[in-house]
Amino acid sequence: MAEQRFKTLHFISLLLLCILSFQISESNQTSEFCYEGESAGCRSPTTSKNLIKGGIVVNAHHQEVADVYIEDGIIVLVQCKIKVGDDVIVIDATRKYVMPGGIDPHTHLGMEFMGSETIDDCFRDQAAALAGGTTMHIDFALPINGILSAGFEAYTKKARMACMDYGLHMAVTKWDEVVSRDMEILVKEKGINSFKFFLAYKGSFMINDELLLKGFKKCKTLGVVPTVHAENGDAVAERQKRIFDLGITGLEGHGLSRLPILEGEATSRAIRLASFVNVPLYVVHVMSIDAMEEIAKAQKSGQEVVGEAVVSGLVLDDYALWDPDFTTAAKYVMSPPIREAGHGKALQAALSIGILKLVGTDHCTFNSAQKALDIDDFRKILNGVNGIEERKHLIWDTMVESGQIFAIDYVRVTSTECARVFNIYPRKGAILAVSDADIIILNPNASFKILSSSHHSRSDINVYKGRKGKGNVEVTIVGGKVVWENGELKVEPDSGRYIEIPPFGHLFSSIGKADVAYLSSLHAPVH
């Protein structure tokens, strides 16, 4: 049975390889990479036994010098001086960090958005991620005409070439019996454990408070995590019109209409409604001090609120958004917007003390031609920036190299916390016996430089172009296979798996107790 499946998959992947190699040869502006079995230069496929020797093994709770022994894609032993036979491939990691592969909690791969489609398909984006040390991501699947099951099926097709493991969040954009039932099916049968509610993008994804409450209640019953894009979409739309009517049509209008106060308001509203329902809350892409402070306040009161930073919000500021050259400014458009200098530093501090718990990318890439489609109206510029390949390097340099966090914290915020919040720990996010062998080797003494000529995306835009720093991901191992080494990428279509995520993760551990406390606090004369 398994052999039959393997043969079928092998045939399909060969077929897809032909299609893909044609597509990739069309691109001449980005670095190329090699497919297993296709090129003579490729290393042989699966090596079922590996030993990573002498590195500093870093987990979120502890680091030590140790060897890591891998068999058939699973970590079997983490121990000093492991002895192995000749059939084992040994990778030397002396004086380097051996860490769990990065997990990006927030991506949009191959997404149709604002009337366009992102420039890279899933496979290409995932390959780029692997080159940057990220070995799993959780993507946002969008419903089709509000139908969740259709969105899920469409994503499954889109990701059939996946070269790394991925999970899914599903967005909820309308409410009726079918949506409610589909949520249940997706959780119980399809491995979805989080739903996204957009409080912005009026006229497309945005939902109102009534729907948000219904969604929160359903998430609570199912034991899954509600996530919010927190901006007040009504106020954004009102201010966009005012700014546009004043004659401001260029990109300065983007930041002027999507103010931090509107991010703060929506964050606070979502937090209060989550508290009202007594359900955990996950706030995606926290971009402003205003939103971060609302999260800090809620956490202080004991509420289970997870704040997600994204790399663009941490390391960029809005300087380029004010560039008079439209093409330059358009590259940096995302929502909520990249804020003025000061917000990023405050978000870094919040990450270092645990108010913001983890870092994603919100990776959603368009090229400059796509970004220039609606040059006369800032409201229509495609929202989204890159980051899936750059996140691990930028966070190491910005947070660890600068002394704001330690290597163990780095593992926590770029990998382990995502695995814990979304209930896939310790299969992912750890270097422990039983974890999947998704591992990176990072050399803290080497440096990196980001160029749009050498990144692995098809896009000609890279918002981090020219950035350099310390700490280089030299090796990426996914499912026990070396896929990135010596600056060479060796990926195999259809080698990634959809990871089904179970409900009732650790965020739900105190929810029941709070409900009991609430009920026993009621003094109404109820019989």
CB 111 within 8 A of CB 364: yes
CB 68 within 8 A of CB 102: no
- Using the minimum distance from each CB to Zn ion, give the nearer residue, 229 or 420: 229
Instruction: For the CB of residue 310, give the shortest distance to ligand URP in the complex, in Å.
Output: 8
Instruction: For the CB of residue 364, give the shortest distance to ligand URP in the complex, in Å.
Output: 4
Q: What is the length of the chain?
A: 527
- Window 347 to 366, contacts with ligand URP (CB under 6 A): 362, 364
- Using the minimum distance from each CB to ligand URP, give the nearer residue, 317 or 485: 317
Count of CB atoms situated within 10 Å of the CB of 526: 5
Residue 232 contact, options Zn ion, ligand URP, none, Cβ 5-8 Å cut-off depending on partner type: none
Instruction: For the CB of residue 423, give the shortest distance to ligand URP in the complex, in Å.
Output: 22
Instruction: For the CB of residue 255, give the shortest distance to ligand URP in the complex, in Å.
Output: 13
Residue in 504, 498, 507, 517 with CA at minimum distance from that of residue 152: 498
Q: Which stretch binds Zn ion (CB under 5 A): 43-51, 256-264, 362-370, 431-439?
A: 362-370
- Using the minimum distance from each CB to ligand URP, give the nearer residue, 384 or 493: 384
- Window 206 to 265, contacts with ligand URP (CB under 6 A): 229
Full 3-state SS string of 355-393: CEEEEECCECCCCHHHHCCCCCCHHHCCCCECCCCCHHH
Residue 429 contact, options Zn ion, ligand URP, none, Cβ 5-8 Å cut-off depending on partner type: none
Residue 334 is a binding residue for ligand URP (CB under 6 A)? yes
Which residues neighbour 354 within 8 Å (Cβ) at sequence distance 6 or greater?
A: none
Strand partners, 99: 440
Q: Which stretch binds Zn ion (CB under 5 A): 93-101, 224-232, 237-245, 249-257?
A: 224-232
Which two three-digit tokens encode residue 386? Answer: 């890159």
Instruction: For the CB of residue 196, give the shortest distance to ligand URP in the complex, in Å.
Output: 8
Q: Binding residue for Zn ion (CB under 5 A) from 362, 389, 436, 438?
A: 362
Show the site string, 384-403: x = touches ligand URP by CB under 6 A, - = not: x-------------------
* Residues that contact ligand URP, how many (by CB under 6 A): 8
Distance, in Å, from the CA atom of 426 to the CA atom of 505, rounded to the nearest integer, reads 12
DSSP per-residue codes, 38-62? TSTTSPPS--SEEEEEEEEEE-SS-
- Using the minimum distance from each CB to ligand URP, give the nearer residue, 59 or 107: 107
Which residues neighbour 317 within 8 Å (Cβ) at sequence distance 6 or greater?
A: 338, 339, 340, 341, 342, 343, 344
Q: Over the range 175-210, which residues count as b (16 or more CB within 10 Å of their CB) and which as e? A: beeebbebbeebbeebbbbbbbbbbbbbeebbbeee
Residue 108 is a binding residue for ligand URP (CB under 6 A)? yes
Q: Which stretch binds Zn ion (CB under 5 A): 21-29, 110-118, 298-306, 357-365?
A: 357-365
Residue 463 is a binding residue for ligand URP (CB under 6 A)? no
SS3 content of the chain, % helix, strand, coil (to 5): 35, 25, 40
- Using the minimum distance from each CB to Zn ion, give the nearer residue, 99 or 111: 111
Residue in 410, 420, 413, 395 with CA at minimum distance from that of residue 428: 420
Residue 255 contact, options Zn ion, ligand URP, none, Cβ 5-8 Å cut-off depending on partner type: none
Cα 260 → chain centroid: 22
CB 282 within 8 A of CB 226: yes
Residue 331 is a binding residue for ligand URP (CB under 6 A)? no
- Window 227 to 246, contacts with Zn ion (CB under 5 A): 229
Residue 431 contact, options ligand URP, Zn ion, none, Cβ 5-8 Å cut-off depending on partner type: none
Q: Binding residue for ligand URP (CB under 6 A) from 126, 134, 149, 335?
A: 335
From residue 290, give the alpha-carbon distance in Å to each of 232, 254, 267, 339: 13, 18, 9, 11
Residue 334 contact, options ligand URP, Zn ion, none, Cβ 5-8 Å cut-off depending on partner type: ligand URP
Instruction: For the CB of residue 44, give the shortest distance to ligand URP in the complex, in Å.
Output: 39
Instruction: For the CB of residue 192, give the shortest distance to ligand URP in the complex, in Å.
Output: 17
Cα 197 → chain centroid: 16
- Where along the sequence are the contacts to Zn ion (CB under 5 A)? 229, 362
- Where along the sequence are the contacts to ligand URP (CB under 6 A)? 108, 229, 334-335, 362, 364, 383-384
